[in-house]
Structure 1
Amino acid sequence: MLITILVVFVVSMSLIAGALWGLYGKLSKNTEGFLIALAGGALIVSAVLELIEPAMEDGDVLLPLLFVFIGALVFTGLDFYVKEKWSSKSGGAGLLAAITLDGLPENLALGVALITADPLAVAALSGSILLSNLPEAAGGAKEMKDDGRSKRSILILWTGTAILLSAAALVGYFFLENVSKDILNNIRCFAGGAVVASLAIEVFPKAFKEDKYWIGLATALGLIIAFYLNSLS
């Protein structure tokens, strides 16, 4: 249990660290793009090996894949609403909302994955979420500062988001422990679909915009790291 709480804490607190980085540090566009692509490569592996594939081990293929599609559909719809109805009017707040929509299924999945897995088995998932949180929070906080928000209010917003995402992971771990395996599998696949959609809509386009062709190598490196961490379990 202690390791679980520690993993959740480190992953979610990376949002606060990223916000501090964006407010007080220097973040080059190339560095941001490279880190985002690195996280994206790791998330590809994590979504498949930690979320989707385990749900298909019992032989049922169609239902898990349906929930993958539903997860992608829900994330896409919510992300569309944020960008079209909110982001254009509120700058960095729209990015904050998009990160929250992305982070909720990711952290819920992290909590669910920790129920039956050794901590090393989810190292790739937690590590890739951490890597993606840092540059995304840094970019979002910097954009909010440029929009005229005070540094104090920005830190309060990102701290609240970190607490919310921590709660999602802990809910996944503590309150879904006794539910049926089928329900856990459906949750994993839903989260996996949401992660895949976030990669296509948010992660790789932003990484390419910031770092151009180096993101190919960064994505491959993230994939290699995730596969290696998964092999340790």
Structure 2
Amino acid sequence: MTIRVLLADDQAMVRGGLRLILEDQPDITVVAEASDGVDAVAQARRLRPDVCLVDIRMPRLDGLQVTRALAGPGVVDPLRVIVVTTFDLDEYVYGALRGGAVGFILKDAGPALLVEAVRAADNGDALVSPSITLRLLRHLTPAGTPPGHRLVEALSRRETEVVRALARGRTNQEIAAELFISLSTVKSHLSGIQTKLGLRNRVEIAAWAWENRVVDGA
């Protein structure tokens, strides 16, 4: 199936470049473009794209506000949002991921990573530009969670292995191969882990793993 993407960026040249990169892929099509945050939210809610690529700095509503409106806590049937920006400030990264984004990609990361992030989001995975991943995961505290209230002991041995692999940046497919389990089993474990820890997505699971030193060498 074709992955339907919405592009939101206030610069027409940037939108055009992203469209060319994405539509060069046989499994991706751009269904809409927006030049400001209000239009992005309206089109996203109307068209229900599979993935929304959203810039941070836009008129009327910025990318963080758009992310919260489409994917934030309390949103019924949230959309998958990837923030694509030239700015890797910690406040933007934290704000985007705590607002529900499933990815944070720098515009200079290259076409391959952009395409990979779109496919990962469509598959229910998350991807953050490698240049900021470790910095993010070593410092991000999951929203609304006092440290120490989520005990490592709450996880089974297998769930802990899944968390460790995820925190090292493995996709679901890679976790399945690494642990010699099926893809459906990985997804089942992740669902159980989110329920046990009260987390919303795999990025928050990874952040929790680093914060609680579940990852070897953390």
TM-score range, shorter chain: under 0.3
- TM-score for the superposition, normalised by structure 1: 0.26
Q: Which has the higher strand share?
A: 2
Which protein, 1 or 2, shows the higher relative CO under an 8 Å CA cutoff with sep ≥ 6?
A: 1
- TM-score for the superposition, normalised by structure 2: 0.27
Q: Which has the higher helix share?
A: 1
